Structure 1
Amino acid sequence: MPRCYQCCFHDWVCENGIVSIMRIETRALEAFASVMKLGTVTAAAGVLARSQPAVTRSLQQLEERTGLALFERRSGRLVPTPEAHELYETVRETFEVAGKVERRAEEIRRRLRGELRVACVPAFSQRFIAQAVFDFSQLYPDVVVQVSTRFSAVLAEDLRAREVDVGIVTYHLLDETLSCSTFTTCNEVLAMPREHPLATRRNVGLRDLAGERLVVLGDKDPYRHRLEQALAAAEIVPGTLTVTDSSTTACSLALCGLGIAVINPISALELVGAGLVMRALPELDAPYVTTLVHRHDVHPTGFVRRFLEVVQKVRDRELARANELCKSMP
């Protein structure tokens, strides 16, 4: 570095007070933040895996470096001063920024290593995502793929926090920080064991469900609400309901003979090989809407973009298969 540049840099550092900041050790800031958050030196020492005298020395060092009285000693306890509370807000924000730096650095390292983090809602978490990852691995055998299952709200938050690269969530998702595109709008189907009388019929209508046991999702599920509204409008009363919060479980219950499941075709495909039969129900207007999501601030290039292409091809293939199975006879 040329001497003149060194001098300019030194002057700039001094003018901006960075020398003083750099003299405050990270350990002192960690001790201060822990005591402020937990309330006692003992608790802070336990979390930081340090001795209590070491934490106390760190607090004294911080007071010396800042020139502020940060704690008052009352009956053997440290009581934060108003100045400590004011400083803590900045220290907390500093650690939050440091955390963002660490996450961004890890993201860059992961991209250079060749890693892809994929998450999806439970309906896609078995055969579907496994097939997508398998097809992708044929193109990029050296890329490490991490697959996880999460509910939509958590998944979207993890995408914003850069903990997931690509995700599939239920319903429409609108978020300016994320790139969102409609993934499926397929109709719900009827799923039943091959021994069920309706399995021998190619066309099934709402009136065929009169008196039939049904397997449905929880009372907060919008697709269940649409089914109930359609049945009520047609003055159709079904038989006993079996309720679950999992579409995969609903298909298993249907296969065991506990009723006809009204479910998305992706989940129903999981058990077709075990004897589950699918039938379309055109009278029910309840499209299964999902969204394919990736971060908007990172343009999908290379293997990320290719995975987006692969997962959409798997979707097209699986939905075409579901459509054919709805027409086939057991």
Structure 2
Amino acid sequence: MTTLFDLDIKQLEAFACVISAGSVTAAAKALKRSQPTVSRLIQELEQSVGYPLFIRNGPRLHPTEEALQLHQYVQRALVSLQQVRHRAQEIGHQQHRPVRIAATPALAAGLLPQALAALDLQNKVQIISQSAEQTTHAIIAAEADIGLCSLPLEHHAVELHWIGQSRCVVALPQGDPLATAQQVTLSCLTGRRLIAPLNPLRLRGSLEKVLKKLRVAPHETIETNSSANILACVRAGLGVAILEPVTAWGLPLDGVVIRPLEEEIPYFFGVITPQGRQLSAAAQSLVTALETAAGNLLPAFQRLAPSEHQRVMRLINQD
């Protein structure tokens, strides 16, 4: 059985680099090691895990299915190790600890930069953009100091500082007949191709409930896990979108017109930190700056207390 001590860091670095570079030769150059050394490290790792990691085809290596599955964990471990190295150096030089922020792509790109711009930053900042579920997990595991994520956000290991509420909007291609309207009704979208978020457990579920209730049937749907992708598809004329407001107002895109919806489809998000961990002064300032930035960016923004979480979730989940 493979033990932790059988896995050498140099082997893992060689493995990750070969997958990224596509060949032992390119990996050797990137790692500044000889080609035979990298080949030996890969062979030793294969012996440790007990199965082949690459299919050899001449000078090139093709990762096996097992290698691709393993790679995501190896990459995560190497990033964590790199952070340990950096932190050790910072402690040695008495530097400020970086503020680590985990956020969904919409909040990381649409809201966070405006909040950071309002601060007199003295600390290094690390921003990790990932899914809502991964963002919450990063806070639960204390891998990040602050999390920005859509609801739900109730967990015993998470402290919820505040909930933000705003309204979803419609994104239209420039030149679309509806772009001249000051406000758009959902009924106008009947028969139109809809560019929609992929995750059914977040905003997508709320959108489908409202469309079903109003008997608005889009012609067909393009699905994606990124609000930026949604805007790009709208600009290309592939369809229209009912979009969360952070990306819509925070990342305006030429060729895309944003219009308010007559019907209210609320969008909820929150700011979270690890439960029981004392926040640095920089992190505390950022929590406040995010609220200010949201108020400046989002029309009809409301700040809700953490105690409102259960009520909001009942509202989201109601038929």
Same fold (TM over 0.5): yes
1:129 match:
112
Distance 1:232 1:308 in 2: 37
What does residue 55 of structure 1 align with?
none
Rounded Cα–Cα distance in structure 1 between residues aligned with 2:222 and 2:109: 23
Partner of 1:37: 3
Distance 1:320 1:197 in 2: 24
Give the conservation status (yes or no) of the 8 Å contact 2:147–2:272: yes
Partner of 1:319: 298
Whichever residue aligns with residue 287 of structure 1, its letter is: P
Q: Deviations over 1:46-74 (max 9, x none)?
A: 6388xxxxxxxxxxxxxxxxxxxxxxxxx
Deviation at 1:107, TM superposition (A): 12
**2:103 aligned to 120, 127, 145, which one?**
120
In structure 2, the residue matched to 1:169 is: 149
Asked whether the 8 Å contact 1:133–1:145 carries over to 2, the reply is no
| 2:23 matched residue in structure 1 | none
Deviation at 1:249, TM superposition (A): 0.6
Which residue identity does 2:117 align to in structure 1?
F
Q: Residue deviations 1:156-195, cap 9 Å, x none? A: 2222333211110121311222211343221211111231
Note closer, same or farther for the CA distance 1:161–1:111 as it changes in structure 2 (3 Å cut).
farther
Distance 1:202 1:110, change over 3 A: farther
How far 1:228 sits from its partner (Å)?
A: 2.8
Secondary structure of 1:126's aligned partner: helix
- Paired residue for 1:302, among 267, 272, 281? 281
CA spacing shift, 1:172–1:244, aligned 2, 3 Å: same
> Aligned with 1:148: secondary structure?
strand
Q: Is the 8 A contact 1:204 1:279 kept in 2?
A: yes
Q: CA deviation at 1:319?
A: 0.5
The answer to whether the 8 A contact 1:265-1:322 is kept is no
- Equivalent of residue 227 in structure 1, options 197, 200, 207: 207
Unaligned ranges ≥5, structure 1? 1-34, 50-98, 324-330
Q: CA deviation at 1:134?
A: 2.4
Deviation for aligned residue 1:240: 2.6
Which has the larger share of helix? 1
| Corresponding residue of 1:246 | 226
Distance 1:129 1:260, change over 3 A: same
Deviation at 1:108, TM superposition (A): 9.8
Q: Secondary structure at the match of 2:113?
A: helix
Deviations 1:121-173 (Å, cap 9, x if unpaired)? 1112224322222222xx23x31111111222222222233321111012131
Q: Residues 294, 265 of structure 1: CA spacing in aligned structure 2 closer, same or farther, 3 A cutoff?
A: same
What does residue range 2-81 of structure 1 map to in structure 2 within 5 Å? Answer: 37=3, 44=6, 47=8
SS at match of 1:274: coil
Which AA in structure 2 matches 1:288? Y
CA contact (8 A) 1:172 1:182 kept: no
Q: Deviations over 1:5-64 (max 9, x none)?
A: xxxxxxxxxxxxxxxxxxxxxxxxxxxxxx7627xxxx83x6388xxxxxxxxxxxxxxx
Count of aligned positions: 229
User: Which string of whole-angstrom CA distances, capped at 9 and with x for unpartnered residues, describes residues 103-125 of structure 1?
Assistant: 9x969949962221112111122
The residue type paired with residue 232 of structure 1 is K
Task: Identify the residue that residue 255 of structure 1 maps to in structure 2.
Answer: 235
The higher-RCO structure (CA 8 Å, 6+ apart) is 2
Question: When the two structures are superposed, what TM-score results if normalisation uses the length of structure 1?
Answer: 0.60
8 Å CA contact retained: 1:251, 1:271? no
Secondary structure of 1:272's match? coil
Whether the 8 Å CA contact 2:150–2:202 is kept in 1: the answer is: no
Instruction: Specify the alignment match of 1:292 in structure 2.
Output: 271
Letter of the aligned partner of 2:277 in structure 1?
Answer: V
CA distance in 1, matches of 2:237, 2:127: 32
| Conserved? CA contact 1:252–1:271, under 8 Å | no
Pair 1:144-2:140 in alignment:
no
Deviation, structure 1 residue 252: 1.2
CA distance in 1, matches of 2:204, 2:124: 38
Q: Percent identity?
A: 22
Paired with 2:89 and 2:163, the residues of 1 have a C-alpha distance of 26
